[in-house]
Amino acid sequence: MKQPPPPGPPARWEKLGDRALTHTAVFDVRAVRLRHPVRGTEREFVVIDAADWCNVVAVTPDGRIVLVRQFRYGSDDFSLEVPGGVMERGEDPITAAVRELREETGFTGTPGRLLCWVHPNPAIQSNRCHLVLVESAARTADQEWDQDEEMEVTTAPVADVLAWARTGRITHALTLNALFLFEPVWAATGSKTSP
């Protein structure tokens, strides 16, 4: 039987406990028991506990964004994305993003700056994805892929990449977050000096 919503803002559920369900190489799955403070309802919810991630928008001096195209196991398809990856627990987001950029693409650039962080899916995930901007990016190093990585590295003009984000050619949600958070920075600074 459905109950009418309580008046006022949503309440913070009280955590009663949690237990491990499974451990994988990429994330842990936990069952979290919560109680609603007003209704007294108790429920168990599944939470994916993963390390934080980072994604990096790397822009070359001539106004091109560094992209990778790779096969993604979850979607069973190829995906056009900005570089990124899993952070070590406690690792600085900018350090991680610069490392991932170099390892995946061979590009390096300015020390980088944090655009912001987002929750990839707060309904079921506990982690954050940190979105970092690296400017003056240039190919200066050899790629160092992980065992299962294989990707095509390319660059494209900022305007083209932003158009691809709007028209569905880029579908990776965290890449879209990164690009749309980068767009006002580009509008305020980069687009005035690029060809």
pLDDT tens digits for 176-190?
999 999 999 999 986
3-state SS, residue 140? coil
pLDDT tens-digit profile of 11-32? 999 999 999 999 999 899 999 9
| CA atoms within a 13 Å half-sphere pointing along the CA-CB vector of 152 | 10
Quote the pLDDT of residue 195: 35
Residue 65, beta-bridge partner list: 59, 156
Banded model confidence at residue 5, pLDDT cuts 50, 70, 90: low
Asked if residue 123 has pLDDT above 70, the reply is: yes
pLDDT tens-digit profile of 82-95? 999 999 989 999 99
Asked if residue 149 has pLDDT above 80, the reply is: no
Q: Taking the CB of residue 107, how many other CB atoms lie within 10 A of it?
A: 23
User: Which pairs from 4-13 meet CB under 8 Å and 24+ separation?
Assistant: 6/38, 6/39, 11/36, 11/37, 11/38, 12/37, 13/37
pLDDT tens-digit profile of 31-66? 999 999 988 999 999 999 999 999 999 999 999 999
d(CA 82, CA 95): 16
Q: What are the E-state strand segments in 9-63?
A: 14-23, 27-35, 42-50, 53-58
d(CA 121, CA 74): 15
Q: Which residues contact 42 (CB under 8 A, 6 or more apart)?
A: 16, 33, 34, 35, 36
Residue 130, beta-bridge partner list: 54, 117
Say if CB 52 and CB 87 are below 8 A apart: yes
Quote the pLDDT of residue 40: 92
Q: By C-alpha distance, which of 131, 136, 135 is closest to 179?
A: 131
The overall pTM is greater than 0.85 = yes
pLDDT tens-digit profile of 90-121? 999 999 999 999 999 999 999 899 999 999 99
Q: Taking the CB of residue 139, how many other CB atoms lie within 10 A of it?
A: 15
3-state SS, residue 5? coil
Please give the torsion angle defined by the CA atoms of residues 142, 95, 69 and 143, in that order, rounded to the nearest 10 degrees: 10
CA angle 186, 133, 158 (to 5 degrees): 40
Banded model confidence at residue 79, pLDDT cuts 50, 70, 90: very high
